[in-house]
Amino acid sequence: MIKTVDPTQVSQPELHSILLTAVAPRPICFASTIDKDGNVNLSPFSFFNVFSSNPPIMIFSPSRSGRDNSLKHTHENVLEVPEVVINIVNHNMAEQMSLSSTAYAKGVNEFQKAGFTEVPSEKVRPPRVAESPVSFECSVMEVIELAQTPGAGNLIIAKVELIHVDDAYFTDGILDTEKLDLVGRMGGNWYIRAIKDSLFEIPKPLRTHGIGVDALPKGIRESEVLTGNNLGRLGNVESLPSASEVEKIVKADGVDTLSQRELHTLAQQLLEAGDTEKAMALLLFAEGL
């Protein structure tokens, strides 16, 4: 049974909860800004992502307060000084990051409250967070206020001017996802940690067209064992193996006595282990092809 929600017919807190719980995990923009008087502010926002690499553009959105409709200090600061440092958050600093989200009075330095270290930036005035694995010095191109109502977003479009990456997070010259140990925002008080056990890899679609799920034999498409993910992986192959290739693989594995369901189950295990070629051969054999 589906519950249908009209955004205009529910309260702002209820709508906020649905949106932020369903649209997740979200990366975290840990933004350091400065006002015209030189007061530093540091605050996290999960309405955030990268939107272009040439030019390098990031956008985040400090929303108006759902309680009193006030603007975030970050929003006010970038209107006064259109610069920001976007610091990336990993697990080592997650609790301190959360503490910095406290609604301290204007002028209070969250670097100090949360125990972070200020490092002078090179191209912009706000400092960066020393503990962050990656920091992006940005100029603010535009601020788009979406509405004047509680919960309304304010898009801050920031152009990356300089990037700082801690050498400890590289492997063979490439920024390493496992080493980064990033965290993402979920609904309520929940976060997610991008550690090895949570990571999985999906081969990108071929530059040449994959055959597609619709090109698989009906018995494979309608399998009671294979999942949508399994079918998606199979549909990404460039072509089906020949009858001789199928026979060779099946004989080598000694699985020609297995039932159709057993072959589908074994093929699923092979798909999850990354051996698409062998899995496809077993499935075609099960179809008598």
Backbone phi, psi, residue 56, to 5°: -75, 110
So where are the chain's domains?
7-198, 213-286
| Residue-level pLDDT at 128 | 97
**Residue 117 has what pLDDT?**
95
- Pairwise CA distance, residues 74 & 110, whole Å: 12
In contact, 45 and 86? CB cutoff 8 Å: no
Chain segment 76-131, per-residue pLDDT in tens: 999 999 999 999 999 999 999 999 998 889 989 999 999 999 999 999 999 999 99
Give the pLDDT confidence of 26-38 residue by residue, as tens digits. 999 999 999 999 9
* Joined tokens for residue 16: 């906020």
Give the tokens for residue 12.
């702002």
CA distance 187 to 170: 31
Averages of pLDDT over runs of 10 residues in the chain (289 residues) are 94 92 95 97 97 97 90 96 98 94 90 95 98 98 95 96 97 95 95 89 76 92 95 91 88 83 94 91 88
Q: For the stretch 63-78, what's the b/e string if a residue is b when 16 or more beta carbons lie within 10 angstroms of its beta carbon?
A: bbeeeeeebbbbbbbb
Name the pTM for this structure.
0.85
Fold category of 7-198 in CATH: Pnp Oxidase; Chain A (2.30.110)
Integer-rounded Cα Rg, in Å, for the chain is 25
Distance of alpha carbon 245 from alpha carbon 264, whole angstroms:
18
Q: Where are the alpha helices (DSSP H) in the chain?
A: 12-22, 73-80, 94-100, 110-114, 177-180, 218-221, 228-234, 243-253, 260-272, 276-286
